[in-house]
Amino acid sequence: MTHAIVLIEAERSAMPALGGQLADVDGVAEAYSVTGEWDFVAVIRVREPEALAPLITGKLAQLDGIKRTHTMVAFEVFSEHDLEALFSIGS
């Protein structure tokens, strides 16, 4: 499992709808509106690292109203949650 955090700066006009659009992108586990320099944070979880680039540059960054993104790929996950179990439901 590969995890990434994407910081997103949005056009002001896109802010009301963009959070829901981010959450609807396959691979986006969570989307948050936040305060500060960035407007949204998207938490990405994909099975293979090769899936990150097409997801982030091909889908996420192409959404209308996104001005720029900053992506951080996680080296290690220290969460107590069993994310693999979540992804295996129904498989």
Domains in the chain: how many in total?
Answer: 1
Taking CA atoms, 77 is separated from 4, 14, 53, 88, 89, in Å, by 10, 31, 20, 18, 21
What amino acid is encoded at 10 in this protein?
A: A
CATH of the domain at 12: 3.30.70.920
Instruction: Give the range of the structural domain holding residue 75, as residue numbers without chain letter.
Output: 2-88
Q: How far is Cα 13 from Cα 66, in angstroms, rounded to an integer? A: 10
When pLDDT is cut at 50, 70 and 90, the band that residue 77 belongs to is confident
* pLDDT score at 76: 83
For the entire predicted model, the pTM comes to 0.82
Q: Is the pLDDT of residue 11 over 80?
A: yes
Type of residue numbered 54 = P
Does the structure show a pLDDT above 80 at 88? no
Cα distance between residue 5 and residue 29, in whole Å = 10
